[in-house]
């Protein structure tokens, strides 16, 4: 038994501090031990070992509904206290199993604690164990349901985002049809159709990028990536948009920094930040892209002197489809996915993204990614650079 180590431990304390203290230590440690494990009674052979090995919450109750054994997970979920089942629903389930002649599976909503009405959705499987005992296996469904909700929201948002340009294209094609005799009108409607089609294509591409990113792990087959090349490519990809708004994008800071990861994804992340900086800056403004090495990290900071982001929006801008000003974003053709993609890319690289901003003064988005080093290579299981 585990308690075997208590005796030498107590002797050690006894030698140092006297027998009174020794006894106190033994008693208090042993009491804690019993409370956590519950009495083992004469539970059938093998059950104890099985419950210890189970990651999932599981309990065994005797004919008086006393919990005679439980896995560590059951206590963590708050299902048992002082050897009693804390939920009446579980007690009812045990009674039902005793009355019937087979296992019972039930979806229940258990209270998360003595206060408030928060509930934890669980699936409980209950079955007889020999003639005296009932075994309860509890599966916590909270995380699975949360993920399902996120997925449902995502699908609902996608449908909404796609419907808007599709609806506009439908209306414009009708307008085009009825303007057949008006060459100017035809040109105007055709130009607007082209804008909506581009928006549709960008949203579709971003949705594909994002879902690929969520499925993939950038560090599965990482390569040495030169940040100079990442920054130069991202600036280059935005040069037409920058020129159209007479915005100068300036590169500064350290050269020759490297990280491990996926070059194309990193270019996409920096590209999105520069594209936003252009989109949310006044014409003729300046944007800086700075690189520096700070301890074990490479920081890539994109700074603009644009409209800035209010404090209450700063965390939310990284959420999928979140836009501070939907009407303005619609004019600029934003989908609300750009920063969600940025966040995923840096997280996939073991890094993080930070945001400093002040409304009216501008914003700085900083990507912080572990620098390529021998230690980093070893951590990723690579041969070092």
Residues that bind ligand ADP (CB under 6 A): 272, 276-277, 280, 304, 306-309, 317, 322-325, 329, 334-340, 363
**Can you tell me the distance from the alpha carbon of 120 to that of 115, in angstroms, rounded to the nearest whole number?**
13
The string of DSSP letters for 140-196 reads E-HHHHHHHHHHHHHHHHHHHHHHHHHHHHHHHHHHHHHTTT-HHHHHHHHHHHHHH
Helix (H, G, I), strand (E, B) or coil at 318: helix
Helix (H, G, I), strand (E, B) or coil at 365: strand
CB of 344 to ligand ADP, least distance (A): 11
- Which residues sit opposite 109 in a β-bridge? 121
CB of 287 to ligand ADP, least distance (A): 9
**Which residue, 135 or 307, is less far from ligand ADP as judged by CB?**
307
End-to-end CA distance of the chain: 50
**Which residue's structure tokens are 């840096």?**
346
State the CB neighbour count (10 A cutoff) for residue 301.
Answer: 19
**Which residue's structure tokens are 């990861």?**
261
Q: Which two tokens stand for residue 167?
A: 């609806």
**Which residue, 329 or 373, is less far from ligand ADP as judged by CB?**
329
**Which residue, 134 or 203, is less far from ligand ADP as judged by CB?**
203
**Which residue, 40 or 331, is less far from ligand ADP as judged by CB?**
331
**Which residue, 285 or 370, is less far from ligand ADP as judged by CB?**
285
CB of 162 to ligand ADP, least distance (A): 15
Helices (H), the chain: 6-17, 19-37, 47-53, 72-76, 88-99, 142-178, 183-215, 227-237, 239-244, 263-279, 326-332, 338-348, 374-379
**Which residue, 37 or 304, is less far from ligand ADP as judged by CB?**
304
**Which residue, 120 or 344, is less far from ligand ADP as judged by CB?**
344
Helix (H, G, I), strand (E, B) or coil at 276: helix
CB of 232 to ligand ADP, least distance (A): 20
CB of 164 to ligand ADP, least distance (A): 13
**Which residue, 87 or 357, is less far from ligand ADP as judged by CB?**
357
On whether the CB atoms of residues 136 and 144 are closer than 8 A, the answer is no
CB of 233 to ligand ADP, least distance (A): 19
CB of 323 to ligand ADP, least distance (A): 3
Query: Residues 147, 150, 155, 158: what is their CA dihedral angle, to the nearest 10 degrees?
Result: -140
CB of 247 to ligand ADP, least distance (A): 12
């Amino acid at each position: 038994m585990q308690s075997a180590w208590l005796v030498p431990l107590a002797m050690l304390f006894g030698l140092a501090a006297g027998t009174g203290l020794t006894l106190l230590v033994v008693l208090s440690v042993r009491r804690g031990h019993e409370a956590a494990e519950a009495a083992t009674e004469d539970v059938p052979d093998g059950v104890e070992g099985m419950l210890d090995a189970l990651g999932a919450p599981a309990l065994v109750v005797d004919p008086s509904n006393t919990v005679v054994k439980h896995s560590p997970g059951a206590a963590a979920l708050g299902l048992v206290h002082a050897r009693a089942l804390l939920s009446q629903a579980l007690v009812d389930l045990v009674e039902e199993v005793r009355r019937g002649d087979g296992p019972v599976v039930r979806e229940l909503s258990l209270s998360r604690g003595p206060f408030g009405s928060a509930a934890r959705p669980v699936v409980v499987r209950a079955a007889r164990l020999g003639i005296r005992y009932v075994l309860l296996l509890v599966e916590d469904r909270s995380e699975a349901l949360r993920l399902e909700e996120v997925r449902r929201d995502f699908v609902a948002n996608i449908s909404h985002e796609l419907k808007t340009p599709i609806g506009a294209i439908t209306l414009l094609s009708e307008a085009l049809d009825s303007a057949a005799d008006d060459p100017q009108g035809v040109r105007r409607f055709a130009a607007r159709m082209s804008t909506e089609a581009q928006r549709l294509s960008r949203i579709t591409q971003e949705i594909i990028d994002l879902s690929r990113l969520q499925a993939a792990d950038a560090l599965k087959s990482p390569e040495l990536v030169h940040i100079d090349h990442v920054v130069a490519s991202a600036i280059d990809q935005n040069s037409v948009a920058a020129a159209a708004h007479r915005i100068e994008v300036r590169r500064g800071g350290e050269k020759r920094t490297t990280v491990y990861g996926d070059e194309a994804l990193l270019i996409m992340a920096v590209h999105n930040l520069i594209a936003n900086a252009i989109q949310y800056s006044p014409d003729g403004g300046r944007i800086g892209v700075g690189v520096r090495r700070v301890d074990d990290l490479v920081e890539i900071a994109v700074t603009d002197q644009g409209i800035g982001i209010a404090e209450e929006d700063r965390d939310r801008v990284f959420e999928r489809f979140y836009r501070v000003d939907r009407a303005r974003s619609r004019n600029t053709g934003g989908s609300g996915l750009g920063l969600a993609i940025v966040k995923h890319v840096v997280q996939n690289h073991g890094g993080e993204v930070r945001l400093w901003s002040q409304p009216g003064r501008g914003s700085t988005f900083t990507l912080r990614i572990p620098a390529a080093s021998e230690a980093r290579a070893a951590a990723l299981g690579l041969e070092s650079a």
